[in-house]
Amino acid sequence: MNDIGNVDYEGLIPNNVDLAHDTRVKHALERWHPGYLDWWNDMGPEGFQEKLVYLRTAVSVDPKGWAKFDYVRMPEYKWGILLAPQVEERKIPFGSHKGEPAWQDVPGEYRAMLRRLIVIQGDTEPASVEQQRHLGNTAPSLYDLRNLFQVNVEEGRHLWAMVYLLQKYFGADGREEAEALLQRHSGDPDMPRMLGAFNEKTPDWLSFFMFTVFTDRDGKLQLEALAQSGFDPLSRTCRFMLTEEAHHMFVGETGVQRIVEKTCTAMKEAGIEDAYDIEAVRKLGVIDLPTIQKKANLHFSLSLDLFGNEISTNAANSFHASLKGRFREDKLEDDHALESATYPVLRLVDGAIVKQEVPALSGLNMRLRDDYVRDCSSGSARWNRAVSKHGVEFEFKLPHVAFNRRIGEFSSIKADPSGNILSEAEWQKRRDEFLPSDSDRIFIEGLMRPELRPGKFASWIAPPKVGIDNKPGDFEYVKIAG
């Protein structure tokens, strides 16, 4: 056995959970593996499965050096099972079991609730791979193509992480759930993925970058909340997944930033001052800033729906049961039980948007969503710095939480991105100001042509400042010819 920082890397399934001595789970995972590979080949990245891709693989859980980079064919990627190191004598940080030793096994009374939390998280991981499967064919560079595939293989690994928990701790029903995770498919009319945003299309690269900024960030917040769990194996699994997730948001934030930079540079060179002179900007072969804002509006609002209803008994129950905490629960200063606390939540009362104090336990989804919105502003701030650096007059803004919602209080109304309530007729008239229109889609589609020569980039995106793993600009991140 070759141990790289306590990870058994030699077997079929690299792991740091001593699978070699856990034959029941090992066999269960080995039985699941062929179905997973079939799913990857059928539903994963289209057209590049045989190509060598310069990918990072997790080989350790040491925060200082957990990955190695090398060329690999995606179906041969080492999807391992890696849990962050166990914290000695970890105590449950919140809920009715606060202060008790963290559980190493599933507490019987919470079995169903815990399984559901794991399945919902698990379902999102393969869903995004499915949503992104056609994008390779229109990649704007080898650098971006590689980043797409990196995100894809890691989402595949996150599926493995959740399937391990199901197989190890939930017996026969865990096995059934693990199978079902491969049977539901994004956008499938009969067996769709569980959450709305994961059944939407990711039709172009701007959507992909926005998805990784906004929807992967929902994943980050959910993982942060689950990393606090009293069920220690879930906590450890999520903590390690968060290490990988950071790269997904980096891909998105810098991806949009590079598009913004290219647009601003082209505008300046052409002497265009008005960011809203859309026709003139588009003639330059770059994406105008208002259209980028509209894509942000769409993906932000779809991602807000992932936080569920404003008032939620499920959220209250899973917190009370010490299964799902708040964002960085262990850094918060309160009683961590919230039995008598309140939390301010925006609600729809008599047709108006008002802030209401609700029991803090029932408002936990909104608390997580508020943390999410704060976290999102790092992305828009980055884009605004790029705009002002070029001296262009434009500001990216996150839309109001009432804008374009399908779940919760605001799904029954129409609101503009500033949160002003609109009549149905006004919404219909102005919708295309706020969200990508058919003609925006057609314009972007027209730009999506592959640029797969090393060191070259499509007209609408700037090269990155630094390469992956410090590689030079013309590095062959994906070997197209070989």
The footprint of Fe ion (CB under 5 A) covers 125, 155, 158, 216, 245, 248
Q: Give me the least distance between CB of 226 and Fe ion, in Å please.
A: 12
Q: Give me the least distance between CB of 56 and Fe ion, in Å please.
A: 14
**Nearer to Fe ion (CB atom), residue 303 or residue 362:** 303
**Nearer to Fe ion (CB atom), residue 212 or residue 263:** 212
Q: How far is CA 72 from CA 54, 82, 149, 152, 455, in A?
A: 6, 20, 11, 14, 20
- Give the type of residue at 277: D
**Nearer to Fe ion (CB atom), residue 110 or residue 240:** 240
Give the residue from 106, 2, 257 showing the smallest Cα distance to 265.
Answer: 257
**Nearer to Fe ion (CB atom), residue 131 or residue 362:** 131
Q: Which two tokens stand for residue 200?
A: 């939407």
- Cα 21 to chain centroid distance, Å, stands at 33
Q: Give me the least distance between CB of 260 and Fe ion, in Å please.
A: 22
**Nearer to Fe ion (CB atom), residue 56 or residue 282:** 56
**Nearer to Fe ion (CB atom), residue 13 or residue 161:** 161
**Nearer to Fe ion (CB atom), residue 130 or residue 155:** 155
**Nearer to Fe ion (CB atom), residue 225 or residue 387:** 225
Residue 404 to residue 102: CA distance in whole angstroms: 40
Q: Give me the least distance between CB of 148 and Fe ion, in Å please.
A: 12
**Nearer to Fe ion (CB atom), residue 123 or residue 155:** 155
**Nearer to Fe ion (CB atom), residue 153 or residue 353:** 153
Cβ atoms < 10 Å from Cβ of 452: 18
Q: Which two tokens stand for residue 145?
A: 């193509």
Running DSSP on this structure, what letter comes out for residue 231? B
Q: Is 340 exposed, middle or buried (0-12, 13-18, 19+ CB in 10 A)?
A: exposed
Cα dihedral across residues 319, 320, 322, 327: positive or negative: positive
Q: Give me the least distance between CB of 220 and Fe ion, in Å please.
A: 8
Q: Give me the least distance between CB of 131 and Fe ion, in Å please.
A: 12
Q: Give me the least distance between CB of 461 and Fe ion, in Å please.
A: 21
Residues 6+ apart with CB under 8 A from 135: 148, 202, 204, 205, 208
Half-sphere exposure of 148 (CA within 13 A, CB side): 30
Dihedrals φ, ψ of 305, to 5°? -60, -25
Q: Give me the least distance between CB of 281 and Fe ion, in Å please.
A: 31
Give the residue from 366, 436, 449, 458 showing the smallest Cα distance to 210.
Answer: 436
Residue 357 to residue 344: CA distance in whole angstroms: 4
- Cα 8 to chain centroid distance, Å, stands at 28
With H, G, I as helix, E, B as strand and everything else as coil, classify residue 7: strand
Q: Give me the least distance between CB of 159 and Fe ion, in Å please.
A: 8
Q: Give me the least distance between CB of 91 and Fe ion, in Å please.
A: 27
Cβ atoms < 10 Å from Cβ of 206: 26
Q: Give me the least distance between CB of 144 and Fe ion, in Å please.
A: 16
Give the residue from 482, 480, 481 showing the smallest Cα distance to 145.
Answer: 480
For the CA atoms of 332, 337, 343, 347, what is the dihedral angle to 10 degrees? 130
With H, G, I as helix, E, B as strand and everything else as coil, classify residue 478: strand
**Nearer to Fe ion (CB atom), residue 160 or residue 460:** 160
**Nearest-10 crossing angle of helices 111-131, 23-43:** 30
Half-sphere exposure of 480 (CA within 13 A, CB side): 15
**Nearer to Fe ion (CB atom), residue 15 or residue 150:** 150
Q: Which two tokens stand for residue 98?
A: 């606060």
- Give the type of residue at 236: R
Q: Which two tokens stand for residue 477?
A: 């991140």
Q: Give me the least distance between CB of 216 and Fe ion, in Å please.
A: 4
**Nearer to Fe ion (CB atom), residue 158 or residue 295:** 158
Q: Give me the least distance between CB of 88 and Fe ion, in Å please.
A: 28
- The answer to whether the CB of 262 falls within 8 A of the CB of 176 is no
